[in-house]
Structure 1
Amino acid sequence: MKRGGGLHHAALLMAVCCVLLPELAHAADGPPLLRRALIALVCLLGGFALCLRGWERIDRRQFGRAACLVLGGWSLGIAALALLHLSADPQTWSWWI
């Protein structure tokens, strides 16, 4: 099994999003739904991948690393959902994220 493949793909996906997100800037009169949805999707997929890696570590009896990976995955998922929730508040529409 090739090591680091998932991290390489996640880094590549984040680089592509960093290039595309400025292009998807929102108009001043509306919420940045598309940009935030893309960021949330990347965070949710990354969180899911981290959780899967964490469960693999549990099978290998590496509990410390497993806990970090699973908690990191949950944190990314919660951050993604919180970002989508913030899109409803007009005061957050001018934020860069």
Structure 2
Amino acid sequence: MNATRAEEVALLALGWLVSNDDLLPVFQGASGVSADDLRAGAQDPAFLASVLDFLLMDDAWVIAVCDHLVVPYETLYQVRQMLPGGDLPNWT
């Protein structure tokens, strides 16, 4: 996993989130982002990291995204580690 691939996968995860009519309003309510913010954030690695932080809060969301992207379940966590703020230690 490198930074370029991480951003690509994170962007795909954002696309999945935007297409999810049930979960997108939850993300927008929790983060306060608008549709314009979503479009602008697609180019910002820190914003993409926040999307992954949100998705990583629930195993069911991780499974759904990874199944959609056809990637192993640990991929979202690996991607998150490559984006800004992802170098924090994992204490779990």
Name the TM-score class by shorter chain: 0.3 to 0.5
| Higher RCO (C-alpha under 8 Å, 6+ residues apart) | 2
Give the structure with higher Rg (CA): 1
TM-score by length of 2: 0.33
